[in-house]
Amino acid sequence: MAAQTIAFLILLPFTLAFIYAGIHEYLRYKSEGRATYGLVYDQDTGKTHITGIPEGEEAYDPEEFDPDDFNNAESSETPDKDKT
């Protein structure tokens, strides 16, 4: 098999995924209008992800984050002294 054919077969799935994402975003743009994307913090999991941000809300700013304010359920549990 030629090197060009192998390279084509390796790049084909990524190219198709990129084209699909572009079409999907174009159709979303046509139906909903311009979107603002940014980093959003999920307090339940303690993780961030990139998503569309509604108007009137601000994106998550990592420099303003204070880890001491995060309520971690695992660390807040106190072990029972009765269990031995």
Is there a contact between 29 and 36 (Cβ–Cβ < 8 Å)? no
83 domain-assigned: no
1 domain-assigned: yes
Domain enclosing residue 21, as ranges: 1-34
Beta-bridge partners for 52:
37
Residue 37, pLDDT score: 80
Residues of the chain predicted below pLDDT 70: 59-62, 65-84
Residue 70, pLDDT score: 59
Residue 29, pLDDT score: 87
82 domain-assigned: no
Is there a contact between 51 and 60 (Cβ–Cβ < 8 Å)? no
pTM value is 0.51
Residue 44, pLDDT score: 82
Same domain, 13 and 40: no
Residue 48, pLDDT score: 80
Same domain, 30 and 41: no
Residue 9, pLDDT score: 96
